[in-house]
Amino acid sequence: MTNSIADIQQADTIFVTGSNTTESHPVIGAQLKRSVRNGSKLIVADPREIPLAAEADVFLKIKPGTSIALHNAMMNVILEEKLQDETYIRENTDNFDELAESLKKYTPEYSAEICGVDADKIREAARLYAGVDKAAILYCMGITQHVNGTETVMSLSNLALITGNIGKPGSGVNPLRGQNNVQGACDMGALPNVFTGYQPVGNPGALEKFEKAWGVTLSDKAGLTVTETFKAIEEDRVKMLYIFGENPMISDPDTHHAEHALQKTFLVVQDLFLTETAELADVVLPAASFAEKDGTFVNTERRVQRVRKAVKPPGEAKPDWVVFMDLMNRLGYEKKYNDAEEIFEEIRKVTPQYAGITYDRIKGRGIQWPCPTTDHPGTPVLHIGKPARGAGLLKPVEFVESGELGDEEYPLVMTTGRILYQYHTRTMTGKTEGINNMAPEVYVEVNPELAAAKGIEDGAMVKITSRRGFVTMKAKVTDRVEKGVLFVPFHWESGANVLTNGEVLDQYCKIPGLKVTGVNLEKMA
Amino acid sequence: MITLKINGFDVEVKEGATIYHAASSIGVKIPTLCYDERLKPHGSCRICVVEVEGARSLMASCSTPAANGMVVHTESEAVVTARKELLDLILANHPLDCLTCEKAGRCTLQDLCYQYDIEESTFDGKRKSYEKDASNEFYTADQTKCILCGKCVYVCSQVQNTDAICFVDRGFETHIGTPFDMGLSESTCVSCGNCVAVCPVGALMPKRKEKFRYWEVEKVKTTCSYCGVGCQMELLVKDGKVVEVEPVKGHSNDGLLCVKGRFSYDFVNHPSRLKKPLVRKNGVLEEVTWDEAYETIVDKIKEIKAADGPDAIAAFSSARGLTEENYLMTKMMRAVIGTNNVDHCARL
Residue B301: closest C-alpha in chain A: A240
Per-residue pLDDT band for B346 (boundaries 50, 70, 90) equals confident
CATH no. of B2-91: 3.10.20.740
Quote the CA–CA distance of A112 and A74 in Å, as a whole number: 11
Per-residue pLDDT band for A426 (boundaries 50, 70, 90) equals very high
CATH no. of A412-523: 2.40.40.20
What percent of chain A has a predicted confidence (pLDDT) above 70? 100
pLDDT at A58: 98
DSSP annotation string for A117-138 = S-HHHHHHHHHHHHTSS-EEEE
**To which CATH superfamily is domain B211-273 assigned?**
ADC-like domains (2.20.25.90)
Query: Nearest Cα to A159, choosing from A48, A85, A231?
Result: A85
- By residue count, chain A amounts to 525
Per-residue pLDDT band for A327 (boundaries 50, 70, 90) equals very high
pLDDT of A90 > 90? The answer is yes
Domain boundaries, chain A: 6-176, 182-368, 412-523
Average pLDDT over residues B86-96: 96
DSSP annotation string for B96-138 = --TTT-TTTTS-HHHHHHHHTT--S-S----------B--SSS
3-state secondary structure at position B196: helix
Quote the CA–CA distance of A490 and A473 in Å, as a whole number: 12
Contact yes or no for A417/A142 (Cβ under 8 A) = yes
Residue B71 at interface with chain A, using a CB cutoff of 8 Å: no
Per-residue pLDDT band for A442 (boundaries 50, 70, 90) equals very high
Q: Tell me if B268 and A214 make a contact (CB, 8 A cut-off).
A: no
Contact yes or no for A10/A17 (Cβ under 8 A) = no
Per-residue pLDDT band for A406 (boundaries 50, 70, 90) equals confident
In terms of Cβ atoms closer than 10 Å to its own Cβ (0-12, 13-18, 19+), residue B324 is buried
Strand A41-45: give its sheet, edge to edge: A58-60, A41-45, A13-17, A135-139, A173-175
Using CB atoms, pick whichever of B257, B293, B333 lies closest to residue A283. Answer: B293
pLDDT at A422: 97
pLDDT of A389 > 90? The answer is no
List, as ranges, residues 244-273 from B with C-beta within 8 Å of A.
250-254, 256-261, 263-270, 272-273
Query: Nearest Cα to A370, choosing from A303, A306, A307?
Result: A303
pLDDT of B217-239, one tens digit each? 999 999 999 999 999 999 999 99
Give the best residue of B192, B210, B327 to mutate against chain A (max A CB count within 10 A): B327
3-state secondary structure at position A194: strand
Q: Left if phi > 0, otherwise alpha if psi is -120 to 50, otherwise beta: which for A471?
A: beta
Using CB atoms, pick whichever of A308, A330, A437 lies closest to residue B220. Answer: A308
Average pLDDT over residues B90-104: 96
Q: How many alpha carbons fall within 13 Å on the CB side of residue A204?
A: 0
- By residue count, chain B amounts to 348
Calculate ∠ Cα B134-B138-B144, nearest 5°. Answer: 40
Q: Tell me if A303 and B251 make a contact (CB, 8 A cut-off).
A: yes
Q: What is the mean pLDDT of chain B?
A: 96
Quote the CA–CA distance of A311 and A292 in Å, as a whole number: 5
Q: Tell me if A319 and B322 make a contact (CB, 8 A cut-off).
A: yes
Average pLDDT over residues B272-297: 98
Q: Tell me if B317 and A244 make a contact (CB, 8 A cut-off).
A: yes
Q: What is the mean pLDDT of chain A?
A: 96
Residue B284 at interface with chain A, using a CB cutoff of 8 Å: no
Peptide bond into A314 cis (omega under 30): no
pLDDT at A525: 81
Beta strands in chain B (DSSP E): 2-6, 9-13, 49-52, 59-60, 71-73, 139-141, 166-168, 175-177, 204-206, 218-223, 232-238, 241-247, 278-281, 284-287, 313-316, 342-343
Q: What is the pTM of this model?
A: 0.96
CATH of A6-176, one of 3.10.180.10, 3.40.720.10, 3.40.190.10, 3.40.228.10: 3.40.228.10
pLDDT of B305-344, one tens digit each? 999 999 999 999 999 999 999 999 999 999 999 999 999 9
Average pLDDT over residues A182-195: 97
Q: Tell me the nearest-neighbour CA distance from A261 into chain B, angstroms.
A: 13
pLDDT of B347 > 90? The answer is no
Give the best residue of A27, A216, A228 to mutate against chain B (max B CB count within 10 A): A27
Chain A positions in Cβ-Cβ contact with residue B297 (cut-off 8 Å) = 242, 268, 283, 327
List, as ranges, residues 188-207 from B with C-beta within 8 Å of A.
190-192, 194, 207
Per-residue pLDDT band for A75 (boundaries 50, 70, 90) equals very high
Using CB atoms, pick whichever of B242, B256, B310 lies closest to residue A30. Answer: B256
Write the CB contacts of B271 (distance below 8 Å, at least 6 apart in sequence). Answer: none
pLDDT at A478: 98
Query: Nearest Cα to B331, choosing from A201, A254, A356?
Result: A201
pLDDT of A390 > 90? The answer is no
Q: Left if phi > 0, otherwise alpha if psi is -120 to 50, otherwise beta: which for B112?
A: alpha
Per-residue pLDDT band for B77 (boundaries 50, 70, 90) equals very high
3-state secondary structure at position A319: coil
pLDDT of B348 > 90? The answer is no
List, as ranges, residues 119-178 from B with C-beta within 8 Å of A.
137-138, 158-162
Domain boundaries, chain B: 2-91, 211-273, 278-347
CATH of A182-368, one of 2.60.120.380, 3.40.50.800, 1.10.1040.10, 3.40.50.740: 3.40.50.740
Using CB atoms, pick whichever of B263, B335, B344 lies closest to residue A185. Answer: B344
How many CB pairs below 8 A link A and B?
A: 471
pLDDT at A388: 85
pLDDT of A260-309, one tens digit each? 999 999 999 999 999 999 999 999 999 999 999 999 999 999 999 999 99
Using CB atoms, pick whichever of A225, A278, A299 lies closest to residue B343. Answer: A225
What percent of chain B has a predicted confidence (pLDDT) above 70? 100
pLDDT of A17-67, one tens digit each? 999 999 999 999 999 999 999 999 999 999 999 999 999 999 999 999 999
Quote the CA–CA distance of A477 and A489 in Å, as a whole number: 14
Q: Is the ipTM of this complex over 0.90?
A: yes
Chain B positions in Cβ-Cβ contact with residue A317 (cut-off 8 Å) = 273-275
In terms of Cβ atoms closer than 10 Å to its own Cβ (0-12, 13-18, 19+), residue A408 is exposed
